[in-house]
Amino acid sequence: MRFTSSMITGVLRNTGQTVVFTADKGSARVNISGGPLMYRYQFEELYIHYGPEDVVGSEHLIQGISFPAELQLYGFNVELYANLSDAQQKPNGVAAISIMIRVSPPNSELRILTNQSAPVKTLSLHGLLPETDYYMTYEGSTTHPGCWETVTWVLLNKPVYLNKQMIHAWRQLKQGINLEQPKTNIMNVRPSQALHHRTVRTNINFPQAQALHDLQSQ
Amino acid, res. 15: T
- The answer to whether the beta carbons of residues 100 and 215 sit under 8 Å apart is yes
Distance CA 119, CA 128 (A): 18
- pLDDT given for residue 55 in this prediction: 86
- pLDDT given for residue 22 in this prediction: 94
The residues assigned a catalytic role are 81
- pLDDT given for residue 123 in this prediction: 84
Distance CA 24, CA 10 (A): 4
Distance CA 114, CA 167 (A): 8
pLDDT > 90? residue 120: no
- pLDDT given for residue 60 in this prediction: 94
pLDDT > 50? residue 216: yes
Show the beta-strand stretches assigned E in 18-90: 19-23, 31-33, 41-50, 69-77
DSSP states of 148-167: -S-EEEEEESS-EEE-HHHH
- pLDDT given for residue 184 in this prediction: 54
pLDDT > 80? residue 208: no
pLDDT > 50? residue 209: no
Reported as a single tens digit per residue, the pLDDT across 143-191 is: 888 888 999 999 999 999 988 888 888 887 766 555 555 555 467 888 8
pLDDT > 50? residue 210: yes
| Collapsed DSSP state (helix, strand, coil) of residue 187 | coil
pLDDT band per the 50, 70, 90 thresholds, residue 97: very high
- pLDDT given for residue 194 in this prediction: 81
Of residues 145 and 49, which shows the higher confidence score? 49
Contacts of 158 (CB under 8 A, 6+ apart): 130, 131, 132, 134, 214, 215, 218
Note if the pTM is more than 0.95.
no
Distance CA 110, CA 106 (A): 7
Distance CA 137, CA 201 (A): 5
- Domains of the chain (ranges plus CATH)? 2-217 (3.10.200.10)
Kindly report which listed range (117-121, 125-129, 181-185) carries the lowest average pLDDT score.
181-185
